[in-house]
Homo-oligomer: A and B are copies of this chain.
Amino acid sequence: MIRVGVVGATGYAGAELVRILAGHPGVELRLLTSRQHAGAAFSDIYPAMAGIVDIPCEAYNADAVADRTDVVFFALPHQLPMGLVPELMDRGRRIVDLSADFRFQNADVYERHYQPHTARELLPQAVYGLSEVYRDRIRKADLIGNPGCYPTSVLLPLIPLIREGLLEPRSLIADAKSGVSGAGRSPARATLFCEVAESFKPYKVGAHRHTPEMEEVLTREAGDSIRLTFVPHLVPMSRGMLTTLYGQTKKGVDEAAVKNCLARFYPDSPFVRICPKGRPPDTRNVRGTNYCDIGFYLERGTGRLILMSAIDNLVKGAAGQAVQNMNLMLGLAETEGLTAIPAPL
């Protein structure tokens, strides 16, 4: 039995990790930390878990983490993990970090958008945990920089087409829409019920920190500098992310080419589902699951490709993909612990 811990267990992504890991047949949940709720039972913070996960939340203690776990998930705000991960790595723990701290290969880009990086030496060995795309490298990794939710929703549909060169690299636009849980559980006026209900709006236009993350990956995949126009929007719902991508196809690319490209890329990826023509993805269909549903429409006349993806921002966009990465790292079945059946509503 693999022993796992969650550092930062009471935020939304952390709690979702707890939910998934508590039902994972191959691991044992041995340690939960929470700065704010140290001393409380997890089920006091999340009463839904009464009788299911009643172990206490603890203050972070590196010795305790190193002694009692084999794999550690970090669900902390950016900047904190890079201060804690190096010591655990030295002591042989394997890490899946959900923050941005280990997502960038180029530390300068990270520093331009976040803050000075204090664990640069680990970046070369950190693997970007986009499971379906970097499966082989993830299998051998000890440190995963788990992708952001927006990047997951953008990159899964886009990378197959970029790799095959089907799209004009200067034409890419991602119009993304996220449920409110992406903003986390810290009290904030902007995410109060009364501020969000009956409201739909763009935010951080031209300024979201997921843009450089996506551009680094896309540029690497294209072998050519790629700029992405990215506009995130806030949807009055708790969970779910739907991204609508627009790109100009290269001459001669037709519907079959797109379809085949996606089919070739995702034949053995149980969590990627290609939607049949005429039924676009819907966040509802992936709620609470690790699926990424992908659909597309090629506009005649303009040659413009509309790619659509739906994920649950807390699962495939965070905790679910983190567990999928752990499964890969440990040689478990990729779907283990992730087979929750979606609810009809």
Chain A residues packing against B (C-beta within 8 Å):
12, 15-16, 18-19, 22-23, 46-52, 170, 173, 175, 177, 179-181, 185-189, 191-203, 205-206, 227, 229, 231, 233, 235-240, 242, 244, 246, 270, 273, 275, 279-289, 293, 297, 299, 301-302, 304, 306, 308, 310, 339-345
Contact = CB atoms under 8 A, between A and B. Distances in A.
A227 B282 contact: no
Contact of A48 (B180, B191, B239, B343): B343
Contacts of A240: 198-200
A184 B275 CA distance: 27
A229 B192 contact: no
B237 A199 contact: yes
Given A193-B191, A229-B302, A244 B175 contact: yes
A242 B201 contact: yes
Contacts of A237: 197-200, 236
21 contacts: A19-B344, A46-B344, A48-B285, A48-B287, A48-B344, A49-B344, A173-B304, A175-B244, A177-B177, A180-B192, A180-B194, A185-B189, A191-B193, A197-B345, A198-B345, A201-B284, A202-B308, A205-B297, A206-B299, A229-B304, A246-B246
